[in-house]
Structure 1
Amino acid sequence: MLKKILKSYDFSLIAVMIVLSIFGLVMVYSASMAFAVQRYHVAPDHFFQKQKMFLIVAAGIFAFFAGFPYKIMKSTKMLVPMVILSLLGLGGIFVFGKVAGNAQSWYEIGGISIQPSEFAKLAVIIYLSAVYAKKQNYINEFNRGVVPPLIYLILISGLILLQPDFGTAGLILLIAVSIILSSGMNGKNIFKLIAMGGIAGGIISFFLQEKIFSEVRMSRFTVLEDPFRDVLNEGFHLSNSLLAIGSGGITGLGLGKGVQKLGYLPESHTDFIIAVIAEELGLIGVAFVIICLGFIVLRGIHIGLKCKDPFGSLLALGISSMIGIQSIVNLAGVSGVIPLTGVPLPFVSYGGSSLIQLAVAAGILVNVSMFANYEQNYKTKKAESPPATLAREPIRARR
């Protein structure tokens, strides 16, 4: 049985995740060398060493969740503590959290920053997948099947908006939309949710207009018209990002030979790491990252569609949408298609919270895939094979 289970794992998916994470570790080293010395006055490999530690921890966490039966997570004993801890983690940030980048979104523990909103994304995926899977028999009853799970989503999103972190809050809402659209509810209820969301958005915008429409946030939209108009102020981040992307060409300047990371491109090892990749490895390096991310997302969608268990199917689709949406938002922001949001690039950007959360999500996705493959390859064949007594009937007939 153990041999059958091992054969059921999607090793191509695991291999791509490992390769992309190691590639990200190399690029973090390249992108953060000058930043570590200039800003923090530490060794050039400071962020590389921390990311390496995060990656080792993440590998163990991934292995655990890849072997942990995902179906256990839909039990009340698992869901209730997860919901409580996620709400307490986001609520406590206003008392014990530190302020950075005009937002109070991190805990500082022993020199390590922990961002609870990263783990809240995964908590929302697990919770909505579990609840909507249980409500399949009455998923189209609006008051009973549709609305109750959204209370948790509203609380999570509200706490993140108050930090304020509009990028992560918007990302969580988009992930929730993907799960809702995949849950099987009818178009009438989806239309009702859209209307309710529009009304809620209007109310939130009215009460938080000073934060939402502040001069700093609105400048992220106006700078898209011409980021080079005010290079030293509003357009500083985006203009240097575009210069890095444009100077790389097809093959890039060479690994470690980028110029924009030398004090010109802020946060080059986190939000803007794809710009460093474009400058040093060119279009080939960017294409490699996009192909790897695309493979993970499409593989996850395939797993979700193949899985016969509603909970596993929604989990796979939710995790895939999280990785896909987050990748698109990061790439679009860095290239000036949409305003910058501060969303990291999955598996590549520096960050312990993001990497460990992705390790949990990736482990769950691989576990869902394993169970789906096992049931399809072994249980189905066993069910289809004729009983031994029936197989001997022709022999008796000949006698």
Structure 2
Amino acid sequence: MHGIGRVLARIIPRSGLIHAGDSSTTPPRISSRFVIGADEMIMVRSGHVVMLCALVLLTIGVVMVQSAGMSVRPLAPDADPTAAAAVSGVSIKSLLTSRTSLYLLIAVGAMAFASRLPVRRIANRLERVVWFKPGGDLGVLVLASLMLIAMLVLVYVPGIARVENGSARWITLHLPGLESIQPSEIAKWAIIVLVAWYAARLGSYKEHRLKKFFTGLLPVCLCAGLVATVVIKEDLGTGALMLLATAIVLLAGGARWAHFAAFIPFALLGLVGAIIAAPYRVTRITTFLNPYADPAGDGYHMIQSMSTVAGGGIFGRGLGNGLQKFGYLPEDTTDFLFAVVCEELGLIGAVIVVSAYAGIVWSGTSIAMRERSKPLQLIVLGVIATFGVQALINLVVVTGLGPTKGIALPLMSSGGTGWIMTAFMLGLVVSINRTQEYSALYIDDAQEDNDAAIYALRASRGSMIEAKPTLADRAVLFDQQVMDTAFAFAHSDEAQPDPDVQDDEMALLLGETSPEEEHAPGLIARLRDRIAGRDEDQPHQPEPVSMSARQAGYSEDESERADLFS
């Protein structure tokens, strides 16, 4: 019967299960709490909040892009040319046939696809990969950075490059519904994953190489800096955002603040140089300081934006009834879409939008704080930092609190590549949260049938199977005596795999068999009987371990985990 204990030990994370009736134990901090009993309740996961808020922003974005895209045309071919009427962009037909609706469908599909990816399994396998010479981990970093740079310079290739407003940011694909893509949007997210992986790899070494300057921090900063420099040439805002996200990920990964101080002078020189190299950037700064010095020229953009925001009042003019979008507010469907939201939906609409962004940032930060896998934690942190800072910059610019900068409002401003890539990365955050370990399971004293506990734990079976050999939550299937027995077997040097463990029993333990299936109760009873009946088969089994011994084991294991992932 040792095999059952081994099976439990392989699939159960040790997290200090609170047994029924044990009210003296202080509940640990948990990621998702399930209360099984008379009043069943399942608390909403942070990943659900991220996905819901993203869908809200995408939906509002589609509607508002259609509204901001309203045009003016003569009433009829034979009518007075001066007579004009607004052609509403907010109709069922226009929403179903517009390009933005196609982008919405692709973005939602990308988020759903990413949310089901086995991100944790992939990360665990990458952690075990040994990158052989030449180069090792550094070679992978350099190669990936060169690939990103090669993709970015495609915007200068004649024949596929597309220039708008004097900036070469797009490449033409000639695909139905996706005529062009913006490589900088892809690089912005790819650099986060790359830096997070590299920082976690360096931090996993015994000497924590990321804390070393020349062999740890300098190479990754140079690679990320080169990629960002290519982006900054055409888009200062996105390039600066990439550098900021890289710094956040590296600092969270364990880099020293003192080492980053060495880069501050170079970063400031680069920023000043990029501004001076493009005179229009200097003009934007001076205009921000006094936009009314030239209200019909350089200050026109900012003045119109502030007027649009203020024109909506509390309840707004009504969807489609905005005035500033008719030739007054530039870039109304892209960078300044939030101003149209304020004018047509008022303060209430603005609060809804800002709340959705805050919900994603708050929930994403919560997911990152609970994550134990270092690479996944850094990825979540980088994604949320990039998303939140980008939204904040856009809101600051639109409301006149900062100089004009062409940076889009994520998930709302018109743009196919931005929507799809942002939704995909948020889907990865949802996937990471979906497979996070549960820290505890609370069972009501009056609960007799624990089948519901199995079903509740199925959502986290990925992380449980991948966890270190530990013991706790999965034993809610059994009583106290069986838990002690399984714990003793799992820590016995004489324990051997049990060849009699059936496939259907394994599926039940792993959560792959639903307790609602007809044969599930029989499997539970069989497992209980086989473990509880070990006295007949193994007369010299180890004595059950006391609760104090188990708690000591928990503390020791948590210390090992902290050393491993710190």
TM-score tier, shorter chain, comes to 0.7 to 0.9
CA distance in 2, matches of 1:82, 1:54: 28
Partner of 1:147: 218
CA distance in 1, matches of 2:141, 2:155: 22
Structure with bigger RCO (C-alpha 8 Å, 6+ apart): 2
- Deviations 1:46-80, CA, capped at 9 Å, x for gaps: 99711111111112221221111224268489978
CA distance in 1, matches of 2:153, 2:88: 35
Partner of 1:14: 51
CA distance in 2, matches of 1:82, 1:9: 31
Structure 2 counterpart of 1:274, from 318, 332, 338: 338
Structure 1 counterpart of 2:62, from 25, 43, 48: 25
Partner of 2:283: 219
SS in 2 for 1:223: helix
- Deviations 1:122-150, CA, capped at 9 Å, x for gaps: 01110011000111131212222212222
Partner of 2:429: 365
- Deviations 1:344-399, CA, capped at 9 Å, x for gaps: 11111110011011121111111111121468766389722434456969x999xx
Partner of 1:171: 241
Are 1:315 and 2:364 counterparts?
no
CA contact (8 A) 1:28 1:47 kept: no
CA contact (8 A) 1:58 1:355 kept: yes
CA distance in 2, matches of 1:158, 1:35: 41
Larger displacement relative to structure 2 (333-342 or 290-299):
333-342
CA distance in 2, matches of 1:349, 1:28: 7
Distance 1:238 1:319, change over 3 A: same
| 1:205-284 correspondence to structure 2 within 5 Å | 205-206=272-273, 210-212=276-278, 214=279, 216-284=280-348
TM-score if structure 2 supplies the norm length? 0.62
Partner of 1:60: 109
| 1:81-92 correspondence to structure 2 within 5 Å | 83-92=145-154
Larger displacement relative to structure 2 (92-101 or 344-353):
92-101
Are 1:126 and 2:193 counterparts?
yes
CA contact (8 A) 1:93 1:106 kept: yes
Partner of 1:195: 262
CA distance in 2, matches of 1:31, 1:361: 27
CA distance in 2, matches of 1:392, 1:382: 20
Larger displacement relative to structure 2 (19-28 or 89-98):
89-98
CA distance in 1, matches of 2:236, 2:386: 16
SS in 2 for 1:231: coil
Q: Which amino acid aligns with 1:112?
A: E
| 1:176-187 correspondence to structure 2 within 5 Å | 176-186=246-256
CA contact (8 A) 1:333 1:339 kept: yes
Structure 1 residues not aligned, in runs of 5+: none
Which structure has greater helix proportion?
Answer: 1
- Deviations 1:61-107, CA, capped at 9 Å, x for gaps: 21221111224268489978854542211022122422222221111
CA distance in 1, matches of 2:363, 2:246: 20
Larger displacement relative to structure 2 (294-303 or 224-233):
224-233
CA distance in 2, matches of 1:85, 1:53: 29
SS in 2 for 1:109: strand
Structure 1 segments of 4+ aligned residues over 6 angstroms from their partners: 76-81
User: Please, what is the CA RMSD of the aligned residues?
Assistant: 3.2
CA distance in 2, matches of 1:20, 1:35: 27
CA distance in 2, matches of 1:35, 1:159: 39
CA contact (8 A) 2:170 2:183 kept: yes
Distance 1:351 1:48, change over 3 A: farther
CA distance in 1, matches of 2:309, 2:97: 23
**1:321, CA displacement in angstroms?**
0.4
Are 1:109 and 2:170 counterparts?
no
CA distance in 2, matches of 1:245, 1:296: 24
SS in 1 for 2:289: coil
CA distance in 2, matches of 1:118, 1:36: 35
CA distance in 1, matches of 2:141, 2:218: 18
- Deviations 1:31-50, CA, capped at 9 Å, x for gaps: 1122899xxxx995499711
CA contact (8 A) 1:29 1:47 kept: no
Partner of 2:229: 158
Q: Which amino acid aligns with 2:351?
A: A
Larger displacement relative to structure 2 (221-230 or 348-357):
221-230
Larger displacement relative to structure 2 (79-88 or 240-249):
79-88
